[in-house]
Amino acid sequence: METRDRNWWKESVVYQIYPRSFQDSGGDGVGDLRGIINRLGYLSDLGIDVIWICPVYDSPNDDNGYDIRDFYKMQAEYGTMEDMLELIVSAEALGIRIIMDLVANHTSDEHAWFVESRSSKDNPKRDWYIWRPGLGGEEPTNWESNFGGSAWEYDEDTQEYYLHCFSRKQPDLNWENPEVRRNIFSMMEWWIDKGIAGFRIDAITFIKKDQRFPNLKTEEGRRYAPLAGASLNQPGILDFLHEMKREVLKPRNVMTVAEAPGVPIEQIHEYVDEQSGVFNMIFQFDHVDLDVKPAAKGIYHSWKLTDFKHALSKWQTETADKGWMALFMENHDHVRSVSKFGSDSLYREESSKMLAAYYFLMRGTPFIYQGQEIGMTNHHFASIEEYRDIESINFHAYETALGRPKADILNHLAKRSRDQGRMPMQWSAEPMAGFTSGEPWLRVNPNYTSINVEQSLHDGNSILHFYRKLIRLRRENKALIYGSYREIYKDSEELGGYVRTLGNEEWTILCNFTDRNAAIPAPLAGSIVLSNRNDHEADIMKPYETVICKAECEAGQEETASPSC
């Protein structure tokens, strides 16, 4: 490892907060900034270095804050700008940095820029958004928004359509317009000056649109086609991003993690190369989206363990020595990982820890999503009325109109709805999980009486304590941060794992993804440093067992093909 490769954001562990569901301090059923401040001690004890806080800006909340009305004002339900500044300072006092969500692909339709833009065709801000005339009384193209239905919304007053990749209350900014870019950049600078350490950059691969505005191929029986083909990672996008890097990011040396669906693996280095790339790291979604195909969003696909491992490992292999990834299992747009990739009943504890070890020690910066550290699970909502997420509600309406049976739609949402990951944080066995003293904005998972932070703190063997150990282990062993990556048991439908090597240190992370014993074909190298069970037997991995082993190798032996030295 060269010292020049070292960087604080590589050595950090990030904790993601979805403010609406984290901690309510005021009793209105909605989480808030004061709630986060009150829980900083908990996060500091966990050992994390950075908090990514999802949008807390003023917003009419059509998409829970991802529809920003004012970048320079806090959402009143969450608190004030003074609270936000206090959060930054209080976190800093504990050695925790804050990164904010940067939503730059779109604004709310209530943002002053859009209000002006829609006011008339010759308003100076008309071109700040994407307006097109209709075609023969129809939408300008057949693009389907990410939240279902047409991506175009008709404006009666000016008789044109505007584009929205997400909800109709999230009009897309026109990044072709240099004034738009300049205004976004100065907003970024303003926040950096307030003391934040960087950004999680929302939906950034959507900013460039195919300027020919072509119609796209539809699936049989569907009226619209997913807009990805004309609005995701389109040629020319990197010019915009390099401008952002040149103008804002590089001079200020902030941390950047981009939500970057649509970036093919061949292009990863163009995005994250330390010299010539644009961001420190990106989120890719192959592993969490392996159960859906983009072209047929609502259809659930079964998958095998080898698909899951490949979805993560191919990115690891591509960045084995160079490049950097954001590592995650959950976020506010996805379901709980133990319910999806592990077992959320009998083996909830074991499989949560196993999944943690599997992704956490890969090459990249690990992210923990609130509640993941206590093994929170999905819940089967009884009716659509219980859902709050716009994507799920739209999906329900759209599929109902296509004649899909209700039970089938609800089953799909139980496995895919974003609200699965948004249920309130389970702090204790008190009413409403200690999240609020009022009525929570989204239902609490009834299993909070047994799955909660308080219980996890008391149980020295809990998932929470396992995360603490993982964080410490990673911090104390640079091989687990900077070491190269090599997958093992690639073709196994039971075992998964990899080896990290740095100098003469070789670490093996091995996991059993099944609820049965699995034989280990080759002896484990070195000695066990951490495991989720205390009864490891040679040659066998027990149900959902994970072991982390360390071996010292002879000089020149680091790149062996088998997991043993």
Q: Which of residues 263-292 bind ligand GLC (CB under 6 A)?
A: none
State how far the Cα of 377 lies from the Cα of 426, in Å rounded to an integer.
Answer: 11
Nearer to ligand GLC, 419 or 487 (CB): 419
Binding-site string for ligand GLC from residue 139 to residue 168, where x marks contact by CB under 6 A and - marks none:
---------------------------x--
CB of 259 to ligand GLC, least distance (A): 6
Residue 311 CB neighbours (<10 A): 17
Q: Give me the helix-helix angle, 406-416 and 390-401, nearest 10°.
A: 150
CB of 406 to ligand GLC, least distance (A): 24
CB of 395 to ligand GLC, least distance (A): 13
Check binding of 259 to ligand GLC (CB under 6 A).
yes
CB of 88 to ligand GLC, least distance (A): 22
Q: Is 259 part of the annotated catalytic residue set?
A: yes
Cβ-closest residue to ligand GLC?
A: 66
The residue from 32, 77, 172, 259 that is catalytic is: 259
Nearer to ligand GLC, 166 or 482 (CB): 166
Nearer to ligand GLC, 388 or 475 (CB): 388
CB of 458 to ligand GLC, least distance (A): 34
CB of 385 to ligand GLC, least distance (A): 21
Nearer to ligand GLC, 413 or 453 (CB): 413
The residue from 32, 58, 77, 202 that is catalytic is: 202
For residue 320 the two structure tokens come to 């084995």
Q: Where are the beta strands (DSSP E) in 34-163?
A: 50-53, 57-58, 70-74, 97-103, 131-132, 143-144, 152-155, 160-163
Q: Closest Cα partner for 483 from 337, 329, 316, 357? A: 316
Check binding of 49 to ligand GLC (CB under 6 A).
no
Q: Which of residues 318-357 bind ligand GLC (CB under 6 A)?
A: 332-333
Which residues have C-beta within 8 Å of that of residue 251, sequence separation ≥ 6?
A: none
State how far the Cα of 509 lies from the Cα of 547, in Å rounded to an integer.
Answer: 6
What value, to the nearest 5°, has the Cα angle with vertex 229 and ends 266 and 341? 65
Residue 226, SS3? strand
CB 522 within 8 A of CB 563: yes
CB of 477 to ligand GLC, least distance (A): 32
Nearer to ligand GLC, 103 or 479 (CB): 103
CB environment 282-306: b (16+ within 10 A), e (fewer) = bbbbebbbbbbeeeebbeeeeeebe
CB of 257 to ligand GLC, least distance (A): 12
CB 375 within 8 A of CB 349: yes
Total interface residues for ligand GLC by CB under 6 A: 9
Nearer to ligand GLC, 284 or 501 (CB): 284
Q: Where are the beta strands (DSSP E) in 332-452?
A: 365-369
Nearer to ligand GLC, 150 or 462 (CB): 150
State how far the Cα of 272 lies from the Cα of 256, in Å rounded to an integer.
Answer: 10
Nearer to ligand GLC, 103 or 197 (CB): 103
For residue 367 the two structure tokens come to 């992210």
Check binding of 66 to ligand GLC (CB under 6 A).
yes
Report the Cα 76 to chain-centroid distance in Å: 25
Task: Candidates 33, 37, 43, 103: give the one binding ligand GLC (CB under 6 A).
Answer: 103
Check binding of 109 to ligand GLC (CB under 6 A).
no
Check binding of 505 to ligand GLC (CB under 6 A).
no
Residue 409, SS3? helix
Termini Cα distance of the chain? 20
Active site residues: 202, 259
Site for ligand GLC, rule CB under 6 A = 63, 66, 103, 166, 202-203, 259, 332-333
